[in-house]
Chains A and B, each alone.
Chain A
Amino acid sequence: MGFFLETLFGGLMVGMLYALVALGFVLIFKASGVFNFAQGAMVLFAALAMARFSEWLPRWFGFDSPVLANIGAFVLAALCMIVVAWLVERLALRHLVNQPGITLLMATLGIGNVLDGAGQLIFGSAAYKIDVGMPKEPLIVLDKVFDGGLLLNTEDMYSALAAAALVTLLTLFFQKTSTGRALRAVADDHQAAQSIGIPLGRIWVIVWSVGGLVALVAGVIWGSKLGVQYSISLVALKAFPVVILGGLTSVPGAILGGLIIGVGEKMSEIYIGGHLGGGIENWFAYVLALAVLLIRPQGLFGDKIIDRV
């Protein structure tokens, strides 16, 4: 029982982290109607920026404090993501207004390629570390109730809390502010939104910046956990089934989807994976999402696609 609970918590925490990356997808999709295949590349780019700036800043300005280095690096990396968002809007999105979904999808794949190459060219392609002072020792709780107590990964816990905070902030932003409403209008119909005076270009820069900042936080968390290297961009591949499961346009869906996938993955790896030779976490999330879709074709909270004839 103790082991089950450990696995459950572990899954919930990892799920929160998936939800964070998924949130980047949902935000961009909600507001620009684009399924951003470059999200993984954005996470990598942001993580690289963070890692390298935290290395370079002390050298450039000659100070010692790692806290200052981290804060400075975070700010600089955030600025970089905003510049990226501005460039993406200016050079790509502006010219692709109202193109069909698959064209936009392919465009983001292209953008992802550019970010991959640019990130590694500017910041280097070795493996780097991010150290924001996350505690590394595991926490042992409830050792009176369960024999030996439950082992909780503290780093994951703090990360999950940070992710939850960010998620709450973003949900509020979308639901409660007028900018949020404008973003939802844009997601529905680019040309209609333009025709009522919504500044499409500015909205897109805002959205992609927010997406970039989400990618930055995700990059810091995952980078601190796994180290910053090319494989971080593959985290985004895990976020797809989360987004699909939750519904492409739903922020609470991304959260719930993340938790379900996180728990599902951990549970299946322990309880089923042994029988099948291990390594099933690569496809389990997708099969789980597929199973849910067969029951609810628009995801848990997605908008139903209605055709009028």
Chain B
Amino acid sequence: MFYRENGQFKSSYRADLALFPIAQDRWAMLALAAIAFVGAPLLASDYAFRAVLIPFLILALAAIGLNVLVGYCGQISLGTGAFMAVGAYAAYNLQVRIEGMPLLLSLLGGGVAAAVLGVMFGIPSLRIRGLYLAVATLAAQFFVDWFTNRVAWVTHDSSSGSVSVQTLRILGHSFDTPAQRYLLCLALVIVFGLLAKNLVRGAIGREWMAMRDMDVAAAVIGIRPVYAKLTAFAVSSFIVGVAGALWGFVHLGAWEPAAFGIDKSFQLLFMIIIGGLGSIAGSFFGAAFIVLLPLLLNGIPRWLGLSMSTATSSHLEHMIFGALIVFFLIVEPHGLARLWSTARQKLRVWPFPH
């Protein structure tokens, strides 16, 4: 009964098309924004920022990017790590090689570089379908792994193979403390999240979903498969590239190619499957799940007072993680987003059963 839409009649299509048509949703988002922008900086600890909030935000952004390609457009991608790497290294090179380069432009430049690579490796999708397409993105993953390792130009001829970014400065204001970096990430993630949401609920989003659901029928309606697929790759890779740049610049600070290996690709894929394919909110849910789970699993032995070697606990963690993935896929294959919308449905009619 709290969630009823009683009395909320839309008298224009504009109102119906709004991002949050239900009044309760609007209040909830305002509250969430208040917590995120004001509450968190005041209350959270440095550890919380560094270990939880910042990685959550950046990975959520990457998950949104991957969801555009896999969830909305239905193209399998197993090489997300490579696109993050390209974003990170391109942004890095722009930042250190060009004197006085603004940070935001470097980040966007990283996104553009990743988008170019995305379109290149998206071209096979015009001919290859389904699981076979997985090979194209894996080729991208391993090729970029090798390229960033071997080609010295990429790492600005660093002798150790790793690169680092010290200061983050926008318009003279530098972002040093974890709280400041968190706010930077928050702002960027919200902006890109909104842009992505606009795309997926508009004409191009419907084209992507049409390609996912039935591409032959889509062609008959006049949707151009080439344009739809390549824009999906481009937009997805752009977002993932920006996320990669943020991951390197803000979260890691210093990194080497191994940071963007195939494990990262699988991690992101887990996020969008558990969070919910084809859902922007789901990307956030999935990222939260994947970031919080290892911390929880790590903490359990301590809380229970058990002592075990790090090797044992890491093996157990591995097992429990894998088991939870399988459990989740069995119980709710459409992910946390579906669980959430089912809960909201129930809330709408509470206290009645239906």
Contact of B128 among A106, A276, A293 (CB under 8 A): A293
**CA–CA, A224 to B143, complex, Å?**
29
Instruction: Using CB atoms, name the residue of chain A closest to B329.
Output: A107
Tell me which of A65-73, A118-126, A168-176 binds B: A118-126
Tell me which of B163-171, B247-255, B317-325 binds A: B317-325
Shortest 4 CB-CB contacts between residues of A and residues of B: A113-B322, A110-B325, A117-B318, A117-B319
| CB pair B128 A297 closer than 8 Å | yes
**CA–CA, A89 to B329, complex, Å?**
15
Contact of B132 among A99, A121, A298 (CB under 8 A): A298
| CB pair B76 A111 closer than 8 Å | no
| CB pair A35 B131 closer than 8 Å | yes
A286 within 8 A of B: yes
Instruction: Using CB atoms, name the residue of chain A closest to B143.
Output: A283
Q: Can you pick out 24 interface pairs between chain A and chain B where the beta carbons lie within 8 Å of each other?
A: A92-B330, A101-B131, A102-B70, A102-B76, A110-B325, A112-B322, A113-B322, A114-B323, A116-B319, A117-B315, A121-B315, A121-B316, A244-B134, A279-B149, A280-B146, A283-B139, A283-B145, A289-B139, A290-B135, A293-B132, A298-B132, A299-B132, A307-B215, A309-B220
Instruction: Using CB atoms, name the residue of chain A closest to B135.
Output: A244
A-B contact count (CB 8 A): 141
Take A101-B130, A107-B325, A248-B132 as given contacts and tell me if A283 and B142 are in contact as well, using a CB distance cutoff of 8 Å.
yes
Interface size in chain B (residues, C-beta < 8 A): 48
Contact of A110 among B139, B214, B322 (CB under 8 A): B322
B333 within 8 A of A: yes
**CA–CA, A287 to B137, complex, Å?**
10
B150 within 8 A of A: yes
A198 within 8 A of B: no
Take A294-B127, A297-B127, A297-B132 as given contacts and tell me if A96 and B76 are in contact as well, using a CB distance cutoff of 8 Å.
no
Instruction: Using CB atoms, name the residue of chain B closest to A280.
Output: B146
- The size bracket of the interface on A is 35 or more
Most buried by B among A117, A118, A297, A302: A117
A133 within 8 A of B: no
| CB pair A290 B145 closer than 8 Å | no
* Chain B 241-280 interface 0/1 with A at a Cβ cutoff of 8 Å (1 = within): 0000000000000000000001000100110010001000
Q: Chain A: residues with CB nearer than 8 A to chain B?
A: 35, 91-92, 95-96, 99, 101-103, 105-107, 109-118, 120-121, 125, 237, 240-241, 244, 248, 276-280, 282-283, 286-287, 289-290, 293-294, 297-299, 302, 305, 307, 309
**CA–CA, A294 to B326, complex, Å?**
34
**CA–CA, A14 to B143, complex, Å?**
22
| CB pair A116 B146 closer than 8 Å | no
Instruction: Using CB atoms, name the residue of chain A closest to B274.
Output: A106
| CB pair A114 B319 closer than 8 Å | yes
Instruction: Using CB atoms, name the residue of chain A closest to B322.
Output: A113
Contact of B318 among A105, A116, A286 (CB under 8 A): A116
Contact of A102 among B146, B220, B273, B311 (CB under 8 A): B273
How far apart are B219's CB and chain A's nearest CB, in angstroms? Answer: 10
